[in-house]
Amino acid sequence: MSKRKTSPTVVDLFAGCGGLSLGLENAGFEPVFVNELNADAMESYLLNRSHLEHDLRDPKRHAFDIYDLTSSRNRLEDLTSFLKAEHGEIDLVAGGPPCQGFSGIGHRRTFTELTKSDMPSNHLYHQMAKFVEALQPRAFLFENVRGLLTARWSPDGDKGEIWGDVQQAFRDIGGKRGFKGYAIHAQLVYAKDYGVPQNRPRVLMVGIRDDINWSSISTVAGGLLPNPVGMAPDLIDLFGDLIDENWRKTGVTLRYPSSSQNETQRLLRTGIDGTVARKGSPLADMEYSNHSDDVVKKFRYMIKHNGEIPESMQTKKFAQRLLPMRWGDGGPSITATSLPDDYVHFSLPRVPTVREWARLQMFPDRYLFSGKRTTGGRRRAGDPESGDWSRDVPKYTQIGNAVPVALAHHVGLHLRKLIDR
C-alpha cells in the first residue's frame, strides 16, 4: 500500500545542479527521484536537499547514467514499483536532456566534424519518453534550447527534423496496450517573461495524461503553460548588494559587504529557515578571477564607454559584452552561458562571480555548488571526435546549464492548477 502523499511528486531527469527542481519545489512539488550523469552536478543537487522528507542520497532515489535504468526492463520496472509503493501515482516527470548538440553555444568548439546523429546525448529524449511510459505520471515537462526547433540530424537533413522526432517519441507513448497517452503542447518561451533577468529562449513541451480532467487557464501552449508575468529585475537590483570595492585586493569576498537593498535581494538572501542574511553574514562563491593589469584596463574602458572595446584591446578569443546596470525598454537581452568570460560586470572591471552568475538564474544565495569553479577548452566540451564524451562540469557550467529557478517556479504553479487532485 502506498504512503499518504503530502505534496505532489516529481521525478527529475538530467537534473544538472537542480534549477528545475528548485523552482518546482518552490511551487510545492517534492522530488522523489533524481537522475544526473555528472558527479559534481549531482552533488550540487543533493547538497541542497538534505532538508527534504525523502533522502535523495538513498541509492533507490537517484541514478547517474539513465541508460543503467532504461536499458534493463527489470530495473525500470523495479524503480516504477518502488516509487508507486512509496508515493502512489507520480504527479510529474520533468527533464531537460543535454543540449550541446542543439545549442549554437555548446556546438561551437569540438563538435564541428560530427553529425548530430553521432552524438549519444542527442538521443536521450528517448530515455525520458521511456520513463514517462513506465511511470505514467499525471503530467510531464520537457525543456530544451531554441536550436532544437530547427536542428537537423545531418547537414543535408530537413530543417526541424529532430524536433519532429522528439515530439513523436512522446506522442507514441499512448500507442501501446496498457499505457495511457498524453495531450501534448509545446511553445518557445522567453525566461525574461517570467521574472528571470535573462532573455534565455527555451522550448517547453508539456503533456497531460489523457484521463486527467483539466481546463485551459492560459493562452500559452494550448493552456498548458502559464501566461507571462514580466517583472525581471535590473542587474543593479539583482546583485548591487554584492559589490565589494576591495575585490582585487582580497581576491574573494567571504561576507556580505552591505545589507539587502530591495525585495529581490532579500528573497535571494533568505535561508532555508526563513532568515534573511545581514551585512557581515557569511557569503559563498564570491571568488574573483585573477585578471591581468591589461585586462582590468580593458574592462575599465568598457565600463566607461558603454561596452565599447577599442581595436587595440580586441582579441580573437573573446568578444565580451558589458552587463547593463539597467535593462532597456525591451527588457533583458542576455543569456547566461557556461563561460564567465563572456560578460563584464556593469561597474567593476571583472567578470561575474559564481554567486552573481547563480543570481542571474535566480538561485538563492543559500544554494551551494560542488566541484571546480571553472575550467576550459576540451575539459569542458569533451573531445567527441576522438571518442571522449566525458566532460568537466564546473560551477559556472552547472549554473549556465540550469533551468532558471523563477521560470520553473511559474511553470510549476501552473501545472499544479492543472493536475492537482
What digits encode the pLDDT tens for the residues 209-232?
Answer: 999 999 888 999 999 999 999 889
- Taking the model in full, what pTM does it have? 0.92
d(CA 102, CA 150): 9
**Percentages helix, strand, coil for the chain, rounded to the nearest 5?**
35, 15, 50
For residue 120, which amino acid is it? P
pLDDT tops 90 at residue 339: no
Q: Is 3.40.50.150 the CATH number for 9-232+403-419?
A: yes
Give the tens place of pLDDT for each residue, 183-197: 999 999 999 999 999
For residue 167, which amino acid is it? Q
The DSSP secondary structure of 309-348, one letter per residue, reads --GGG--SS---EEPPSS--TT-------S-GGGEE-SSS
For residue 158, which amino acid is it? D
pLDDT of residue 337: 86
Q: pLDDT tier at 118 (50, 70, 90 boundaries)?
A: low
pLDDT tops 50 at residue 84: yes
pLDDT tops 70 at residue 305: yes
Q: Determine the average pLDDT of the residues in 299-327.
A: 88
> Which of 260 and 154 is assigned the larger pLDDT?
260
Domain ranges (residues) in the chain = 9-232+403-419, 235-372
CB-based burial of residue 329 (10 Å sphere; 0-12 exposed, 13-18 middle, 19+ buried)?
A: exposed
pLDDT of residue 107: 42
Considering the domain 235-372 in this protein, what is its CATH number? 3.90.120
Q: pLDDT tier at 108 (50, 70, 90 boundaries)?
A: very low
